[in-house]
A and B are shown apart, each in its own frame.
Chain A
Amino acid sequence: MYNSIESDEFLIERVKNGDCESFNPLVERYKMPLYKIMYRMVYNRDDAEDLVEEAFIKAFRAISKFEIGRPFYAWICRIAVNNAINYLKKERRGQVQPIEFFEHSLAAKKGNPVEMTKQKVLQERITAAMAKLPDDYRTIIVLKVEEDFSYDEISKILKIPKGTVMSRLARARQKLKGIFKEIGVQNK
């Protein structure tokens, strides 16, 4: 059994040498950060959990390609985010967009503001605005704003040039600002 002191590199080396159990601490260490990213990309708990599980399985199967010395979290994020992007492309066709769910939810609650605090309403509106963003814009905002990855890391995760990261992020923020205005998210 390994404790949390063991470094990612040590554990990955063990996994590469055939010790499957050494993958367990890595799952334990990164399951929640990955869940947060996945949730913000798909806005569905069950889907986010499934995507995290798939990401770990894919990472395990590709562990031989991982270069020791590079950040494991960025590597597995890349796997998880790409998996989620593919999921969004495939699974969302013909299905109800999350934004519709949020808009209905907000519409129902607009008439009864007593039931929720002002902060709760604001959060739901922001969530609705995020869900309304195109997938690639939402992904890049999640990676930068919520996960605070550098442009370099985002560039590697999304396999796009660093300049594209900067421009896409700028456009994504402008788009989100527009949606905020549409649905009534006020600046503080």
Chain B
Amino acid sequence: MKCDLSIELLNGYLDGELDKEQKAEIEKHLKECEVCRKELEELRQLDEHVRTVEIEEPSREFIFNINRRVLEKVKKKSRFRLFRLSPVLVPVTVALLVFIILININQPVGFASLDDRILYVEVETKKDLDIEIPKAGFVREEVYAKGVVAKEKKALTAPTVPSMAKARDVEVFDHAKKGEARAFGTEAQDEIISTTVVQELQIPRDRIVRAIVDSNGKILKVATGNTIIPEKDTMLENRLQGQQLSPPTVAGRKTQLYVDLTQEKVTEK
């Protein structure tokens, strides 16, 4: 004999999970249906069997030490909490690195070309370096200013100097050579009456002559030779050594210089 009562409802009744109406309905049915009563009894016995099963006792280690083990692991894990983020951090970091590498790969690779030049703009204007070079000829200038001062100054004949100084100094030399009375130097000379006597250094015209002139304009050492490699000429050096030229200055400050006194170049000009 079969019964139409849902087995779920019978289980619900057994477990006390039905509402009052359902419970009353089941109880009414159970009074009439022997099959369902038998089924319900079997379910009760089944539950009872299940509850009688004994379990194996846990180990002493579990009973006495689980608290300590749990706490140790919990503290250890909270200490290294950052590493728990590694499943997130590692892929993100790798993705970022790959992204950076890919960006760099897409850049054109090759030799530097004109397009790669960087234009530098010099903001500060270049200041001219004012250089005063002693001359190969020296000028004996007798200056009479209110009948007191007599000066001796030199004129340039060797323009192997930077171009800016060169043009000006050659002009000075030309004036000096003509014996014109002329103001020389930076001082205002309007009231000075002077006569200039040009006395050239006796330098061989077919030879390169260079000299080290100290900060006072005195020739210290002389080198000569037809090449740019200097040679010592004792006789020439004895003749020129000690001669007084105009003091070499750089940016207005007296300084020792290595001066080219070669005559030939001036002659050509």
Contact = CB atoms under 8 A, between A and B. Distances in A.
Co-assembled chains A and B? yes
A28 interface: yes
Contact of A166 (B8, B62, B66): B8
Interface residues of B, number: 37
Interface in A122-176: 122-123, 126-127, 130, 141, 144-146, 150-151, 166-167, 169-170, 173-174, 176
B12 A166 contact: yes
A169 B15 contact: yes
A176 B46 contact: yes
B51 A36 contact: no
Contacts, number: 105
Contact of A127 (B7, B17, B53, B67): B53
A174 B43 CA distance: 9
Interface of A: 20-21, 23-24, 27-28, 31-32, 35-36, 39-40, 45-46, 48-49, 52-53, 56-57, 60-61, 122-123, 126-127, 130, 141, 144-146, 150-151, 166-167, 169-170, 173-174, 176-177, 180, 185, 187-188
A39 B56 contact: yes
Nearest to B41: A187
A123 B52 contact: yes
Nearest to B7: A170
Contacts of A35: 55, 58, 62
A126 B49 contact: yes
A49 to B, nearest CB: 4
Interface of B: 7-8, 10-12, 15, 17, 42-43, 45-59, 61-63, 66-67, 69-71, 73-75, 77-78
A24 B46 contact: no
Contacts of A167: 8
A185 B55 contact: no
B49 A53 contact: no
Contacts of B54: 123
